[in-house]
Structure 1
Amino acid sequence: MKKIILLISTILFALCFTNCKEKTYFKEIVSEKNVNIAMAEFPKNKEDIVINLPVEFNLYLNNFPNIRRVGIYYKKNNRLCMIVDDYVIYESQTDKAIFSLDRYQYPNYPKSIYLVERKIKISTEEAQKFIERYNPKTAVENIKSTNDTIQLISYKKFKEDNPKFIEELRRIPDSITFVIKNRKGKKTIQIKEKINW
């Protein structure tokens, strides 16, 4: 009798653990995509230089057949940012811009995406230091229009090499929110995560 009770308890515990486990829809990873330096989209003068840092996420949306819609919202310094104006999302495998995940449906969601904020301004001197370190064959003076970019190094390596720069990004926490609408019962799930620059 004790063996039967123990067996039933084990099965019930395993079922509860499986069902109670939190569902994972996305997870931030340290990106291998390149960091680059460019001119700000609407420069007021030649000093308006930005650094583009990719923040990458593995997506597990294809594990959930009931998903109907997915919205992504990015907050920087407690301010809701606008897609295209403030940031762009790309599919990791193709590097193509994604303006909405609504064009995808289960089971064809991308396996991973990355977000690039377009307004992280840095000084010309700081930009030149990064260029001298990672791409010494060029110079900040080569950025003459918004179409010009200078590739530096993978974000993973940049993050390892520049902890003080990364710490400054973390001073005011930034976040990403996924709003997921399901087909069944039209339930909406909202998941907010701090970005771990």
Structure 2
Amino acid sequence: MNIKRIVILFIIFITIYSCKNQESGLIFKQNISNEFVYITPDMYSESRDSLKIDIPLEFYIKNNSNTNYDFVGTKFFINKEYISLGDYENIDKNTKEAKREDWEISKGEDNMITSRIEKLYIDMDDAKKIFKKYAVNKDIENFRDSAKIVSYKEFRKDFPEIIKKMEKVPDTVQVTTRDNGKKNYESKKFKISW
């Protein structure tokens, strides 16, 4: 009887310990943003067969570990290609300030980040449908500024076929952290849900 109790207590202990370990570390969740989608021309492209689409990606990041992170950084992979730092920007949703290449996050602290990637494209036919749907009064072939469309939440409802095209090749964001005082970095990749 005593051995059975010891085994049961051991199993309960292991279960509680493993659940606790799963909760520690980095919590990362993606939200569907209410911020606006923009369409802009690619000024450096010779052909006009596509336009840039600026979609706000919203992420909730929390340090659920027992230590402070003195480094938190993101890397984006769109269509399996690395997006360099100058082609995206992370903005703190609360302060509206751009996050540097890396930032700190104390234990228990959380950040709401909006990321805007400048390397997303849609073909001209889809852009024409978008302009027509939202009555954007610009010459799609020749406009040189940006067109403010609608909130991303509404855009997803109105154009699920465009979202489906964007999800053909899984895109990811890699979040890298370092515990304060340690030399090693830890990275986790998360799938972007368009």
Q: TM-score range by the shorter chain?
A: 0.7 to 0.9
1:193 aligns with 2:168: no
Unaligned runs of 5+ in 1: none
For residue 117 of structure 2, what is the aligned residue in structure 1?
117
Shift of 1:171: 0.9
Contact 1:27–1:58 under 8 Å retained in 2: yes
| 2:144 is the counterpart of 1:139 | no
Runs (5+) with no aligned partner, structure 2? none
CA deviation map 1:19-51 (0-9, x unaligned): 232434321111111111112252435665211
Describe the SS at the equivalent of 2:72. strand
Residues 165-196 of structure 1 show CA distances to partners (whole Å, capped at 9, x for unaligned) of 11111111111111111125434221111111
- Alpha-carbon spacing, 1:44–1:139, altered in 2? closer, same or farther (3 Å): same
Letter in 2 for 1:30: I
Distance in 1 between residues matched to 2:118 and 2:12, nearest whole Å = 51
Q: How has the CA–CA distance of structure 1 residues 108 and 14 changed in structure 2, closer, same or farther, with 3 Å as cutoff?
A: closer
Q: 65-74 or 86-95: which moved more?
A: 86-95
RMSD of Structure 2 on Structure 1 (CA): 3.1
1:49 pairs with 2:46: no
Q: Secondary structure at the match of 1:44?
A: coil
Segment drifting more, 183-192 vs 38-47: 38-47
Pair 69,143 (structure 1): closer, same or farther in 2 beyond 3 Å: farther
Name the stretch that deviates more: 149-158 or 171-180: 149-158
1:175 paired residue number:
172
Identity across the alignment (%): 23
Q: Could you state the TM-score of these two structures normalised by the residue count of structure 1?
A: 0.78
SS of 1:173's equivalent in the other structure is coil
For residues 149 and 168 of structure 2, the distance between their equivalents in structure 1, rounded to whole angstroms, comes to 24
Alpha-carbon deviation of 1:58?
0.6
Deviations 1:49-94 (A, max 9, x none): 211111110111376542121121111111111022x322222224
SS of the aligned residue for 1:159 comes to helix
Identify if the C-alpha distance between structure 1 residues 73 and 164 changes in structure 2 by more than 3 Å, giving closer, same or farther.
same
Map 1:76-155 → 2, pairs under 5 A: 76-84=78-86, 86-102=87-103, 104-106=104-106, 111-134=111-134, 136=135, 138-141=137-140, 144-145=143-144, 148-155=145-152
Normalised by the length of structure 2, the TM-score is: 0.79
Would the alpha carbon gap of residues 78 and 141 (structure 1) be closer, same or farther in structure 2, given more than 3 Å must change?
A: closer
Higher strand share: 2
